[in-house]
């Protein structure tokens, strides 16, 4: 059981690392070579998020997407202060290299900033003219 779980974890990580866009749990399941069910994949992703290996992004339709983290994230803090872009047509969601400045609000502590940009990606841009 434990051993199989390790294999599944490796599989999920491999899928995430071989894609340069963020993936939903369903997309990860599709690309996974090891057999796993949705619940397991979600559990693994949750674990990875806690460990600072992946960050979750909520897409346009409220769906969760996961992308692997940069070297600055660890189990104490995520440092993914960049924007995300989702294409309205093909729904591809990607990390974009636009740094987001964490705003300061008096008497509050902001530790997460989500900026979701949307429009049309390179592939879909041409089709809308
Ligand atoms: Zn992170
Ligand atoms: Zn697109
Ligand atoms: Zn990201």
Give tens-digit pLDDT for 41-83: 999 999 999 999 999 999 999 999 999 998 889 998 888 889 9
**Ligand 1 center to residue 49 CA distance, Å?**
7
pLDDT at 113: 87
Tell me the ligand closest to 122's alpha carbon.
2
Domain total for the chain?
Answer: 1
pLDDT at 3: 63
| Other Cβ atoms closer than 10 A to 54 | 27
By three-state DSSP, how is residue 115 classified?
coil
Average pLDDT score over the chain? 92
Backbone angles phi, psi at 25, to 5 degrees: -60, -35
What confidence tier does 30 reach under pLDDT thresholds 50, 70, 90?
very high
pLDDT at 77: 87
By three-state DSSP, how is residue 85 classified?
strand
pLDDT at 34: 84
User: Are the C-beta atoms of 13 and 53 separated by less than 8 Å?
Assistant: yes
**Ligand 2 center to residue 59 CA distance, Å?**
14
CATH code (residue 120): 1.10.10.10
Tell me the ligand closest to 100's alpha carbon.
3
What is the CA 115 to chain-centroid distance, rounded? 13
What confidence tier does 5 reach under pLDDT thresholds 50, 70, 90?
confident
pLDDT at 2: 57
In the structure, ligand 1 is a single-atom ion and the residues with CB under 5 Å from it are 55, 69, 73, 78, 80
Give the DSSP letter of residue 90: T
Domain range for residue 93? 2-128
**Ligand 1 center to residue 31 CA distance, Å?**
22
CA atoms in the 13 A half-sphere facing the CB of 90: 16
Least confident of 6-10, 30-34, 119-123, 125-129: 125-129
Distance in angstroms (rounded) separating the CA atoms of residues 79 and 111: 9
């Amino acid at each position: 059981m434990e051993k199989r779980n390790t294999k599944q974890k490796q599989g999920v990580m491999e899928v995430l690392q071989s894609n340069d866009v963020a993936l939903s749990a369903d997309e990860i399941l599709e690309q996974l070579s090891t057999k796993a069910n949705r619940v397991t994949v979600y559990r693994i992703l949750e674990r990875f998020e806690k460990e600072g290996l992946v960050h979750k992004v909520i897409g346009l339709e409220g769906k969760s997407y996961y992308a692997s983290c940069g070297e600055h994230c660890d189990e104490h803090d995520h440092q993914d202060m960049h924007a995300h872009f989702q294409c309205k047509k093909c729904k591809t969601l990607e990390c974009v290299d636009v740094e987001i400045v964490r705003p300061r609000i008096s008497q509050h502590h902001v530790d997460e900033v989500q900026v979701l940009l949307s429009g049309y990606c390179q592939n879909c841009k041409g089709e809308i003219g």
